[in-house]
A and B are shown apart, each in its own frame.
Chain A
Amino acid sequence: MARARSRTRRETVVETRNLSMRFGGVTANDDVNFRLEAGELRCLIGPNGAGKSTFFKCLTGQLKPTEGVVTIRGVDMTGADPHQVAQLGVGVKTQVPNVFDGLSVRENIWLAARRAHGAERAERLTAETLERVRLGDIRARAVGALAHGQRQWVELGMVMAAEPWLVLLDEPAAGMTDEETVFTAELIREINRTASLIVVEHDMNFIRAIAGRVTVFHRGAILMEGPMDEVSADPTVRDVYLGHKH
């Protein structure tokens, strides 16, 4: 438990208190109290409809929670717009690849880099990022014409190019081949060297590959939290989630 003690001294970068989200009569999130510390890589798991994505969208500003508070590095961001969250230095990748289809790969990345940085620095960051996500060869192609995996990497590249200190990823490996998944896991570990991460994910093997701490969602609330091995050994979790694995 030495790790846990050292963690308590770290800064809290994301916190939600009593966060609830209701759509009409449906409760998607129910009283979620969540904390993420600096440098952490946290995976959110849970069966479909467990409320992971809703929770994720409340963090990014895409949804306004019905009740409760979201703070990012101590700043109250409840009900803030997505661009305000992003301007704090938060990088977001959504579930469906969210890219600028009509623009080139290079320009997609450049737009991310240029938001926070001056022209020269943005150029340099763009070039670096293109290498890191291995898209340098197709930098001039329109993103709309790329394969699914490449589009996902463009989006990851956009997240990286902005040099965020907090990164939120919703199913970054969805629809990828095994080989592509391995590279994506590599990229995520690389991002984690400079940023805290929250990753929504289905794929157990992928979670093991990026080796994070896990928060299990069930029926809109947090069921349990802990290291992957501990969580996957828990009988309740097995029952609600692993038992009904897709």
Chain B
Amino acid sequence: MGAETGAGRLWPLGALAVAFMALAPQVLQLFTIINLTTAIALALLGLSLGLIWGYGGILCFGQTVFFGLGAYAYAVAAQNFGDTSTAVLVAIAVGAAFAALLGYFMFFGRVSDVYLGAITLTVTLVFFSLIRRTSGPEYKIGDALLGGFNGTSAPPLTLPWDSAAILFPNQLFYVAMSALTLSYFGCVWLTRSRFGRVCAAVRENETRAELLGYDARLYKLGLFTIGGGLAGLAGVLMANGVGRVTPDLFGLPYAAQAIIWVIVGGRGTLIGPILGAFGIFYLNSWLGSQQLVNLNVVLGLVLIVFVLLLPQGLAPTAMDLAARAMRGRGRARRRRRPRRALAAEPAE
């Protein structure tokens, strides 16, 4: 469907990502690069939520559960196998598999909206409580002690063909940035495929989709599973950026922030949640260094203001303004599409 829609605009974005990847390690300090890897991990988490919420209408309050599971799966597998490439695959598989399980449980029970939010939030908090409790020596998977409140160490990524060759922070940054870029383009492709368009149809009107002969539950399950896999990959990057995995990955603060990234960046876009995550991450560290206002005050106000005044989020609003500016220059090539259509079609 969408091959005609704005495909040209994707290339500059890809070029920008590659340029950033090439230049950042030259220009930025090592500390900043390490920090950036963490920000990229969070951006990927944001992308995964943006995909399932924006394109599937699945309001998941606990996307962190797949994030945390991915991170733990990576750490445990890497400690056991020594080979981090397998560990990455395990992490993605665990995130996707748990999403499939939870999704089957919810979608085939026709759980939706607030109830879905309640269940997913609860599940992530269950993991938070459970994993905090695993501090004793009896809580180990293979060689890996789970470590309770303090978490467990995450061995850094190595070269796939040489498990002794640990990646340097710069190389880790390349890996993270590539993972994010590829995931993003993968998601764009997905949302323009038949599968993605049907998911959007299910989001718009589940009854109608069913009356056309699409099994809405299966499409939601598929999208949710993909989102879980992506969040699992985000967990791998997070584990590498921080070097440890802790129960906090499952906690309320990350769960809330993921929602905020998507709201601020824009529901129904894929670039929005990524930019939202970066923006909030740096706002976060800036506020941390300033000691001016409490972070939660700012985050709370941001969320309220966006829900009340700018429910579209920044990315669609910016695109809307840009479109208006184009017309303002007298180039009324096409009739202005209503905003909802803009948000719904793959606009990146």
Contacts and interface: CB of A to CB of B under 8 A. Distances in A.
In the complex, A touching B (Cβ < 8 A) = yes
Nearest to A102: B344
Contact of B201 (A60, A87, A103): A103
Contacts of A114: 194, 197
A131 B208 CA distance: 22
Interface string B177-213: 0000000000000000010011011011101111111
Tell which of A81, A82, A140 has the most Cβ of chain B within 10 Å.
Answer: A82
B207 A99 contact: no
Contacts of B9: none
B200 A102 contact: yes
27 contacts: A81-B210, A81-B215, A83-B212, A83-B213, A87-B213, A98-B207, A99-B208, A100-B201, A100-B204, A102-B341, A103-B200, A103-B344, A104-B337, A104-B341, A107-B197, A111-B198, A112-B212, A114-B194, A115-B214, A140-B337, A140-B341, A142-B337, A142-B338, A144-B340, A145-B340, A145-B341, A158-B212
A101 B340 contact: yes
Given A94-B207, A100-B208, 14 more contacts: A82-B207, A86-B211, A98-B205, A99-B205, A100-B201, A102-B203, A103-B201, A103-B204, A103-B344, A111-B212, A115-B214, A141-B341, A142-B340, A162-B212
B227 to A, nearest CB: 20
B211 to A, nearest CB: 5
A86 B214 CA distance: 8
B343 interface: yes
A110 B205 contact: no
Contacts of A101: 204-205, 340
A64 to B, nearest CB: 13
Tell which of A83, A112, A115, A119 has the most Cβ of chain B within 10 Å.
Answer: A83
Nearest to A146: B338
Nearest to B343: A102
A94 B212 contact: no
B320 interface: no
A237 interface: no
A92 interface: yes
A40 to B, nearest CB: 21
Contact of A115 (B213, B334, B341, B343): B213
Interface in A128-167: 140-142, 144-145, 158, 162
B216 interface: yes
A116 interface: yes
Task: Indicate the size class of the contact surface on chain B.
Answer: 20 to 34
A103 B341 contact: yes
Interface in A21-62: 60, 62
A162 B213 CA distance: 10
Contacts of A119: 194
A59 to B, nearest CB: 12
A141 to B, nearest CB: 7
A115 B204 contact: no
Contact of A107 (B1, B207, B335): B1
Contacts of A62: 207
A94 B211 contact: yes
Contacts of A94: 207, 211
A115 B337 contact: no
Nearest to B208: A98
B340 to A, nearest CB: 5
Contact of B210 (A82, A116, A141, A142): A82
B200 to A, nearest CB: 6
B72 to A, nearest CB: 37
Tell which of B215, B216, B334 has the most Cβ of chain A within 10 Å.
Answer: B215
Given A102-B343, A142-B344, A115 B212 contact: yes
A142 B207 contact: no
A60 B210 CA distance: 10
Tell which of B205, B208, B214 has the most Cβ of chain A within 10 Å.
Answer: B208
A182 to B, nearest CB: 26
Interface string B317-348: 00000000000000000110110110111000
A86 B335 CA distance: 35
A151 B200 CA distance: 18
B1 A102 contact: no
Contacts of A60: 211
A104 B345 contact: yes
Nearest to A144: B340
A98 B208 CA distance: 6
Contacts of B209: 83, 100, 111
A83 B213 CA distance: 4
A62 B215 CA distance: 13
A2 to B, nearest CB: 37
Contacts of A83: 209-216
Interface string A107-127: 100111011100100000000
Contacts of B215: 81, 83
A92 B205 CA distance: 14
Contacts of A92: 211
Contacts of B340: 101-102, 142, 144-145
